[in-house]
Amino acid sequence: MSEVLALWNGLAEEEAALRILPCCGSWGWAAGMAGRRPLGDEAALLRAADEVWRKLAVKDWMEAFASHPRIGERKASESAAPQSAAWSAQEQREAAAADDVVKAALAAENAEYERRFGRVFLVSATGKSASEILEILRRRLGNDGATELREAAEEQRKITAIRLKKWLWG
């Protein structure tokens, strides 16, 4: 068991929720995770994270989505924890390095996505180039609302798993 997990297992429930919150951005998820303790290893942590995520209400998903900055922008939501903002910057490193044409296209498509769906576009950006992200964004603009909500929720689930591993192993 990692030292982080051992320490987290021993915290008071409210403190445990606060410590894990940057991995997802939803208080409902963080509280659900704190309530699942003790968790013995990374596999149990990731299983619990998926189970808690899938049982949340849409309002909890929206809270998690809102904690992310727009793709291609460095500024995270004011509600985002500092660790979450730092992870977003790492995850979007490729998008941030894009040329001006791709950055402008991302900004325009992000605005269209927000107009259409009423929330920030969410994709697990780790390891993806800005051009790949732009292609995904354009494809997802063709989704209906219900399909897009499911896709965004799945992307958040992926992001959460990546962040849990970073949180666990530093």
CATH of the domain at 92: 1.10.3330.10
- What is the number of domains present in the chain? 1
Domain hosting 162: range is 3-169
- Token pair in block for residue 9: 């297992």
The catalytic position among 19, 68, 70, 103 is 68
Taking the C-alpha atoms of residue 141 and residue 153, their distance in angstroms, rounded to an integer, is: 15
Look at residue 67 in the predicted model and tell me its pLDDT: 92
Q: What pLDDT, in 10s, does the model give residues 123-168?
A: 999 989 999 999 999 999 999 999 999 999 999 999 999 999 999 9
Percent of the chain residues topping a pLDDT of 90 = 76
Nearest to 50 by CA among 160, 131, 134, 142: 160
Look at residue 89 in the predicted model and tell me its pLDDT: 59
Find the farthest-apart pair of alpha carbons in the chain and give their distance in angstroms, rounded: 50
Q: What pLDDT, in 10s, does the model give residues 18-44?
A: 999 999 999 999 999 999 999 999 999
Q: What pLDDT, in 10s, does the model give residues 92-112?
A: 666 666 788 998 999 999 999
68 given a catalytic annotation:
yes
**Residues in CB range of 128: below 8 A, 6 or more apart:** 94, 95, 136
- Token pair in block for residue 15: 């403190």
CA distances (Å), origin 31, targets 17, 36, 52, 56, 80: 5, 9, 9, 11, 16
Q: Flag the least confident range among 5-9, 86-90, 115-119, 124-128.
A: 86-90
Nearest to 28 by CA among 68, 65, 66, 57: 57
Q: What pLDDT, in 10s, does the model give residues 43-93?
A: 999 999 999 999 999 999 999 999 998 887 655 455 556 776 667 656 666
Give the per-residue SS3 of 52-77. HHHHCCHHHHHHHHHCCCCCCCCCCC
Nearest to 61 by CA among 113, 122, 19, 112: 122
